[in-house]
Amino acid sequence: MSQLSTSVQPTIKQLLATDALSEAQILCGQVNLDRPVSQVISATGHAPRQGSLVVTQSDSVSTADVALLSRLSGLILVKTSPDFGGLAMTAGASAEGVSGVSSSVIGASTLSDASLKRLIKRCNDAGIPLVLVPSYGEPGQVIEDVRFVFLRELKLASARLYSVMLSIALEEGLDGLVEAVSGWLNRPLVVETADFKVLASRNMGATPASQQRLLSEESLKSLREYKKNLQALTPKVGPQLDGQADLHISPVRLGRRLVFPIPLSELIAGYVSVMIRPQDDISQLSEYMQPLALACKVDFSHRLKDSPSFAVTQRSLLKDLLSGRSVSASDQERLERSFGFDLCDGFYVFAVDVGGASQGGESTGVIYPDEEFISCDAEGMRAFVVPYLAKAPETWRKYADDIVARIKELNKGGGKSPAVRLGAGRLVETMLELPDAYGEARQALVIGSMIHGEGEFALAYGELGVKRLLYLVFDHPELERFLDETLSPLAAYDDEWESELVDTLRVYLQQGANLNSTARTLFIHRHTLRYRLEQIADILKVDIDSQEVLLNLQIAFLIKDMKEGGKKK
């Protein structure tokens, strides 16, 4: 592991000058108090980092290994005994078995603790300072006080702290950086990409799937606020930034997880998360996590720019645009360059759902042709944006068939392809119209699912006709009343007499009220059909040859199908 530079690391002498260690007594090693401290730990472990300062209770280190002590910058014992002065030594007592102990530092009483005397001898042989600190309450609190005194010294110059983190990141990568900072903070850490792939971790896993969508949305909100604050400081605008505004991108709290989004090219490229405790000072932790996120940003810029995963940030911005969220002019330009939107004459937008893929608001277990088509997750389905070229015009159906065929091919397993349902918006000409086109595609997908259930379909919003209007009033009670008055008497007659009048009427309407084609479809005689139609007219008390009546009956069947979710009658 690389070490913090001496100019950045606090020394033991600096720590002893703080209030937390104002009553400390130096038992040996006064000449080595200028040793830099790389981290504060509560136990030596098997291989402590070079320069570590161990702060622990005295009775837990009486058998410390000399080889391990030599790696430390010093050892601080937290003594819980009320007669703290009785543990100090006179110069005469130190001369009996321990050399190099200053009588001006040690008290006047005689040391009777043999284990402590042996530890003084070992620390003296290892050449490290041994410091005794009283505890009048919880010893663990003293340990935490020393740890945060150390951190406070580190944060006196955040620029130097960032420089140290950046050096570790460049020399040892994210793994070394996470290990170092996790040791400083004594907290689990994890670094993830924007699609929640773990890049480096220390005792902490990836963001739970149930929280990923919320984190993505909250991070984008923080990013927009961060960008607004930065824009308020530009020379053209002038220093109009509110004193309370945050010049860093704000962290997101998810239970015991505090997440710091990593912005890259004005997008979210990844996340750094730290585990927090109920009593933690979030602002104090942020003093160290913000430089960490900044150091990780450098690694992300090299790691992601030339890799396919960098497209995740572009898809996130596309999702914002399709969802109708505010997108800046610079973000629009970035999308145009990334996807070639500036070279096309229009756009088709498709909303796609794959059978069994939507769980918890996100598409799961489905492979999408991201390298061939522009797409992103949106509201529990997949949105596709297809640029339209006037020189080589294609209908929406051609693009839809290509997308469906490719999804089936990528997800074909056991010789069976998944059911793909698709809704298409109308052709639009500009990027600003993409939210409207996506809304139409999504509505076409929803209406198609109401009519066809779990079956496959491809429907265009512009071809839905009156179904679009029915969808707008779908929950209105008058719609149910209309259905009851139009078809319910006929259904009741079928149930009572086991007839097939509802099915006969459906086929008759599908065949455009043509007697011959309807009779052939139903495999019945033309006279039989005519008799059934007369029965239908009598039961419903309508003129079956009236165009208005036929229109009403067609609409009633549409309502029936949408209500029943495409069940076959």
**pLDDT score, position 312:** 67
Calpha distance 272→147 (Å, rounded): 22
What's the CATH fold of domain 12-154?
Answer: 3.40.1390
**pLDDT score, position 291:** 86
* CATH tag, 158-306: 3.30.450
Angle in degrees, CA 482, 483, 488, rounded to 5: 125
Which alpha helices (DSSP H) does 127-207 contain, by range? Answer: 139-154, 158-185
Residue 481, both tokens: 């009343």
* Burial annotation 417-429 (CB, 10 A radius, 16+ → b, else e): bbbbbbbbbbbbe
* CATH tag, 473-564: 1.10.10.2840
Calpha distance 255→290 (Å, rounded): 19
Which has the closest alpha carbon to 116: 151, 161, 81?
Answer: 81
CA 326 to chain centre: 20
CA distances from 447 to 423, 466, 481, 552 (A): 9, 11, 20, 20
pTM above 0.85, yes or no: no
Calpha distance 127→35 (Å, rounded): 11
Calpha distance 143→406 (Å, rounded): 60
Which alpha helices (DSSP H) does 232-275 contain, by range? Answer: none
Pick among 3.30.2390, 1.20.272, 3.30.70, 3.30.1380: CATH of 310-469: 3.30.70
**pLDDT score, position 78:** 85
Instruction: Return the bridge partners of 26, or none.
Output: 131
Q: How many CB atoms lie within 10 A of CB 105?
A: 16
What residue segments make up the domains of the chain, in order of their start? Answer: 12-154, 158-306, 310-469, 473-564
Residue 245, both tokens: 């505004």
- The stretches in the chain having pLDDT less than 50 are 1-7, 64, 83-112, 235-246, 308-310, 357-363, 566-569
Calpha distance 239→247 (Å, rounded): 13
Calpha distance 177→293 (Å, rounded): 11
Calpha distance 76→534 (Å, rounded): 101
Calpha distance 361→376 (Å, rounded): 13
Please give the helix or strand (H or E) that residue 93 lies within, else none: helix 91-97
